[in-house]
Structure 1
């Protein structure tokens, strides 16, 4: 069965005369969006007594599409609201179509109509006073209309309201009504009994009756004239709408004045949209043209075409908007039922298999946190590749599978080049590139609550084992220091995990300032929810590479460069001890003995290049907070751009991160560095003074006294302190010098 035939059958179920103008337009927009012709909409619209030839085509030409188009789902929902039940083969909805059970409280097929009863002792004055006292404070201005005018067309005669009055308060009207002896017209003005009278349900400023004249956005109008009165009454009550006043219009509709209690017009719009949506989902076919806060409603206490306009009830349903809203939201919570542990004790479900050995299970969440320059993005790219290839990531084995990398920060070219650079630096063959998908969203990222459904739609049926989002600050919604807002944000990751059955891995930055004294799980910026929400959190913190440690790494770099060069350029015998192979002095000496000068120059170029890279390496430690596995021993890494290497030698084990050192140790190290700096400065002054003297005296070394005079002269010139001559005598050996016994001149120590 073709799609067009299916939708045409569905709209034939709808009676256009029962729809309001907006629903009629929505049907047209949905038909055009789905590829139908205007003739389909026009032929269907002819069943409405309001039909005008040519109107469909004129309106059709104004439908140009939008970023949020009206789709086939709108037609399907309208039909279901009117009792249509789809067969399983009738129509397949697209990804962007939505039919939700959220907010459904009333099953219309089981609702019995609730009769309304005309008041036996109807008192027009009391009706109006009761209405005013229910909706308004005495000091608030009330807008009302008793004058009307007639409009006649092919559909008949209709009475429409004039502008009316708005310059009197509720208190003034009540006082006048109490003294009018039943003559309502003497207070409000005479009205035509064929037309009835109207009143505005929100207070005005006394200067007009438009939307800008509304002073309190207190109530909204819910009106339905396409259903039986008894059914309207029943659904309004079943929905427990917070109705302040329920009025019979005197014709075929009830007017429910519903509390929305908005603080401003923007909030009023949102709440009315929500209210109308819930009414629609629960089968209450309402007039959606009543959204204006200055809209007129029917005034009780007057006649209309031989029938009374009267109050049916006041203060029914929930007491406030907030109470009703919370109730609606709780009815369809989609939460699972409780279960007895006894029933599953002997048949426990299987645990999800590990994705990262001893760290993270499949279908779970993991956060990587760290400061800038920690190479977090490179670490995540390494993880993508490890999962795709089924290899080790740092010190953990990874299960093999498909992975999606959501790139929010890098431009497309940079991102793709990074993947290739990391592959080459790891030295792995790119055998499973088809396991890696990349979604480049730089400049196009949206808040996570909007991104999650789009991500789910694109990732469905791809069988991803993991989705990696880098970084999350680009998609954070709300204040990252707010626990409740960040809990809602993190819930989006749960939706992705649940809907797709895959792990979600994301990274975040450390908060500003010192991290000293904080546990690893508390270093991530913002609310503590970030650390407590994921099933695994890995925290990167930098290690302080000391001068001694840096020299060790330089020694290793030189030794490795020598061995590589000898292996590739020289057939050398293994005539060096293990200690010699680990000594740059011995290795360089061996190379000088066995290589030509040209080869030595080439080797030195390699060494210089390797040292330049080695000197930029940074050291890091990964600590973990795990929910599913025991805590692991911290893993030490070298970040050697563009990849991380685990520290196999153990030289990083004893280093304490700067921020984790106690204050006494920081002070001790600071004093030690200061002392070393001062010693180097003194050494430099002595060396400079000796060289200056030698330059002036034809390469002759000075005596101690001459050296003292040289240092004294240069120090006084710049206003610096200088040592005493005796101190200089006592410190010669410390500076690397002694005196010649014969000449008494200073000479370097042998």
Structure 2
């Protein structure tokens, strides 16, 4: 007989174990009405292992006679719809719109994984010496349940006609806390806690908490997890695809058979939302090559219990807490993967009338909505330079000789405490001699001690800044929010992409600060000085690089002479301006000795005493300042000539007279080539040792919001970019970089002192 719909396929969505007796009978009547056989009904009914009785379907079948109101295939169709089946037409609709929680998945490819190219990822059964059933089951319970929540599990089985082992309803009257306590006291015999199980059949457990009254959907108290299982492809491929999809998996268990059981966070508020989210989850898996057993969609479904054996194989935990940390983050990521890319544009459409360029922020250097990196060594005053830039944008003034567009700026302070940061802004305003007419244009976000990795900070920053109208966001410094290995191109590309998101969402320029690699920088190009991967230098639209100039003693003497002359000239302006005009020549104005002699003749001794103090302070200031050369690599503008400047706390001043133009950076001009090469090799080795230690110490200080972290905290921190770091590696780094594990305080990692021992 030909059928409009394949009712047997629809019954894959209907679990007989959750139907009432009358509903089960209605399915049989519908199948008979539509021309199916008793064998079809019997085969489907076998899935209810607890209530199935051989031969019962065939006896009932003969009693189904015609009636005035027949039960038709529409009954089965409706049951399938209620359990997640959707007719094909629902996927072919043209009324595409943004997906909400009340919508079914439709439209869009949602393809993340190319199943034809993805490489399998092996799983490894625990070695016999390391096999610990109690630990396996305890980890499962602690990961999925609160101590007070009831857990359903099954150890009793029965065999059907085909010899297949099927579970009974099992137990549901004990809490996770009770089970864990009994497991700790069972001396490794979990059968003494749960009841002995058949090692040919294995055992099962329910992954959502129950009310202690039964095991149906209505007994589920929290719709927290869903089961993702596929037994139609290799285990390694299942593992790889689930991980590539970044499913928010709380626990992944090997079933001891042909599949992995991934317990996925769905965090639904109620049963209706649970059904919708599971349908969405299963459809994403299907579109990415993972054929899902849709019978598992019920929230009270059984899954394989870790810590037991089945047919000579172990049911064990493969991994915990992998993929995205929550349903919300995973959903946002899946939607973003498919929606973020723009369509290609035809050049012919815009060639004669191209869109306007973004307006400049720093004229000749950076446009609004673009990115700029400032790189330099320590003591270059990078933070002060960025504060100066914040003020220049707020006031519409010059910065290092470049005009700035006036507007609102957000300064993200990750390093200084709030009071120090605010004082710095006031000190820089004062040193620049600039009236704070537009300080309302500057917002400061103080995050010292509260910083999070950049991929977590970016959405928070965007949300807080969306309606503020900033034309610039300055992040200082980035090492506080850096994740992953700064020498890894792919990890740093992921990191710098967060700045693109901020710039795109806010339409603001993003300006950030990074440090130089260690060692001499004078012989390098500006793009090669920033520490870590070349991504740092090649990603921004403008790179502003600061390199120190090594001052000669002759230049310092010359600067001291200028400073002394300036002090005496001011003294004459205050106390005897006529003498200055009539008796001091142009040559005398440039000679400290001559100016001092003139002052002895024309200035009272009391004023000379005060002037001597001023001279002393001026000389100290000259000796206390440093000299820097600003070079750059620009994407939107022509390369600019190097800018020389002085840094005298707390501000930079451009060298307008050219005193620094002939100075070589770091004194490299005086070193022979062989000496430079030798120095670079030593500097590189030392820098690598230092940077790894600094990176690890930064992780210890930040991965647990400033509190001493555990080994697990550090492992999650270093694995956050997608490259897993083993616990053993973390422990090696702890010892290598001068830390210890405080075993009396929950494996907390602390800084080693002279008397500490692990």
Q: Deviations over 1:577-628 (max 9, x none)?
A: 2221111111111111101222211110111011111110100001001110
Seen in structure 2, the aligned counterparts of structure 1 residues 330 and 427 have a Cα distance that, compared at 3 Å, is closer
In 1, the alpha carbon distance for the partners of 2:251 and 2:497 equals 23
In 2, the alpha carbon distance for the partners of 1:419 and 1:162 equals 66
Seen in structure 2, the aligned counterparts of structure 1 residues 161 and 368 have a Cα distance that, compared at 3 Å, is closer
State whether structure 2 residue 414 is matched by structure 1 residue 414.
no
Q: Deviations over 1:495-537 (max 9, x none)?
A: 1101111001010111123335322111111111111111001
Equivalent residues of 2:550, 2:667 under 8 A apart: no
Equivalent residues of 2:374, 2:543 under 8 A apart: yes
C-alpha displacement of 1:387: 0.4
Equivalent residues of 2:644, 2:654 under 8 A apart: yes
Equivalent residue in structure 2 for 1:544, among 538, 541, 550: 550
C-alpha displacement of 1:350: 0.4
Q: Deviations over 1:9-55 (max 9, x none)?
A: xxxxxxxxxx9xxxxxxxxxxxxxxxxxxxxxxxxxxxxxxxxxxxx
In 2, the alpha carbon distance for the partners of 1:293 and 1:387 equals 61
In 2, the alpha carbon distance for the partners of 1:436 and 1:291 equals 57
State the match for 1:243 in structure 2: 230
State whether structure 2 residue 430 is matched by structure 1 residue 424.
yes
Seen in structure 2, the aligned counterparts of structure 1 residues 328 and 368 have a Cα distance that, compared at 3 Å, is closer
State whether structure 2 residue 571 is matched by structure 1 residue 565.
yes
State the match for 1:523 in structure 2: 529
Q: Write out aligned runs for 1:331-480 (5 A).
A: 332-480=338-486
Gaps of 5+ in 2: 1-17, 19-83, 87-97, 110-122, 134-151, 171-187, 209-215, 218-225, 253-261, 268-276, 284-293, 311-329, 677-758
In 1, the alpha carbon distance for the partners of 2:504 and 2:106 equals 29
For normalisation by structure 1, the TM-score amounts to 0.53
Seen in structure 2, the aligned counterparts of structure 1 residues 208 and 164 have a Cα distance that, compared at 3 Å, is farther
Equivalent residue in structure 2 for 1:645, among 653, 668, 684: 653
Larger C-alpha radius of gyration, 1 or 2?
1
Seen in structure 2, the aligned counterparts of structure 1 residues 610 and 258 have a Cα distance that, compared at 3 Å, is closer
In 2, the alpha carbon distance for the partners of 1:184 and 1:331 equals 45
State whether structure 2 residue 617 is matched by structure 1 residue 618.
no
Q: Write out aligned runs for 1:595-634 (5 A).
A: 595-634=603-642
Q: Secondary structure at the match of 2:410?
A: strand
Q: Deviations over 1:385-414 (max 9, x none)?
A: 000000000110000000011111111111
State the match for 2:585 in structure 1: 577
Q: Secondary structure at the match of 2:560?
A: helix
State the match for 1:663 in structure 2: 671
State whether structure 2 residue 156 is matched by structure 1 residue 164.
yes
Q: Secondary structure at the match of 2:638?
A: coil
Seen in structure 2, the aligned counterparts of structure 1 residues 543 and 568 have a Cα distance that, compared at 3 Å, is same
In 1, the alpha carbon distance for the partners of 2:391 and 2:302 equals 54
In 2, the alpha carbon distance for the partners of 1:510 and 1:665 equals 21
Seen in structure 2, the aligned counterparts of structure 1 residues 162 and 413 have a Cα distance that, compared at 3 Å, is closer
State the match for 2:29 in structure 1: none
Seen in structure 2, the aligned counterparts of structure 1 residues 500 and 267 have a Cα distance that, compared at 3 Å, is closer
C-alpha displacement of 1:269: 2.1
In 2, the alpha carbon distance for the partners of 1:514 and 1:429 equals 39
State the match for 1:107 in structure 2: 106
C-alpha displacement of 1:259: 3.2
Equivalent residue in structure 1 for 2:238, among 254, 259, 273: 259
In 1, the alpha carbon distance for the partners of 2:405 and 2:499 equals 21
Seen in structure 2, the aligned counterparts of structure 1 residues 552 and 347 have a Cα distance that, compared at 3 Å, is same
In 2, the alpha carbon distance for the partners of 1:162 and 1:368 equals 62
Seen in structure 2, the aligned counterparts of structure 1 residues 109 and 330 have a Cα distance that, compared at 3 Å, is closer
Equivalent residues of 2:392, 2:404 under 8 A apart: yes
In 2, the alpha carbon distance for the partners of 1:328 and 1:438 equals 33
C-alpha displacement of 1:489: 0.6
C-alpha displacement of 1:467: 0.6
Equivalent residues of 1:385, 1:436 under 8 A apart: yes
Q: Secondary structure at the match of 1:404?
A: strand
State whether structure 2 residue 262 is matched by structure 1 residue 281.
no
Equivalent residues of 1:362, 1:502 under 8 A apart: yes
Q: Deviations over 1:724-747 (max 9, x none)?
A: xxxxxxxxxxxxxxxxxxxxxxxx
In 2, the alpha carbon distance for the partners of 1:289 and 1:551 equals 84
Equivalent residues of 1:404, 1:439 under 8 A apart: yes
In 2, the alpha carbon distance for the partners of 1:658 and 1:374 equals 13
C-alpha displacement of 1:568: 1.8
C-alpha displacement of 1:280: 4.6
Equivalent residues of 2:155, 2:167 under 8 A apart: no
Equivalent residues of 1:244, 1:257 under 8 A apart: no
In 2, the alpha carbon distance for the partners of 1:581 and 1:457 equals 58
Equivalent residues of 1:452, 1:492 under 8 A apart: yes
Q: Secondary structure at the match of 2:443?
A: strand
State the match for 2:495 in structure 1: 489
For normalisation by structure 2, the TM-score amounts to 0.52
C-alpha displacement of 1:244: 1.8
Equivalent residues of 1:554, 1:614 under 8 A apart: yes
Seen in structure 2, the aligned counterparts of structure 1 residues 337 and 416 have a Cα distance that, compared at 3 Å, is same
Gaps of 5+ in 1: 1-18, 20-80, 84-98, 111-134, 144-159, 167-176, 196-205, 227-235, 247-255, 300-323, 669-750
State the match for 2:715 in structure 1: none
State the match for 1:319 in structure 2: none
In 2, the alpha carbon distance for the partners of 1:392 and 1:591 equals 37
In 1, the alpha carbon distance for the partners of 2:299 and 2:668 equals 62
Q: Secondary structure at the match of 1:572?
A: helix
State the match for 1:269 in structure 2: 250
Equivalent residues of 1:456, 1:500 under 8 A apart: yes
Seen in structure 2, the aligned counterparts of structure 1 residues 108 and 335 have a Cα distance that, compared at 3 Å, is closer
Seen in structure 2, the aligned counterparts of structure 1 residues 475 and 586 have a Cα distance that, compared at 3 Å, is same
Q: Secondary structure at the match of 2:577?
A: coil
Seen in structure 2, the aligned counterparts of structure 1 residues 290 and 208 have a Cα distance that, compared at 3 Å, is farther
Equivalent residue in structure 1 for 2:305, among 265, 290, 294: 294
Q: Secondary structure at the match of 2:231?
A: strand
Q: Write out aligned runs for 1:686-701 (5 A).
A: none
Q: Deviations over 1:161-185 (max 9, x none)?
A: 741379xxxxxxxxxx9xxxx9655
Seen in structure 2, the aligned counterparts of structure 1 residues 494 and 291 have a Cα distance that, compared at 3 Å, is farther
Q: Number of aligned residue pairs: give it.
A: 451
Q: Secondary structure at the match of 1:355?
A: strand
In 2, the alpha carbon distance for the partners of 1:136 and 1:383 equals 55
Equivalent residue in structure 1 for 2:538, among 517, 532, 535: 532
Q: Deviations over 1:666-723 (max 9, x none)?
A: 979xxxxxxxxxxxxxxxxxxxxxxxxxxxxxxxxxxxxxxxxxxxxxxxxxxxxxxx
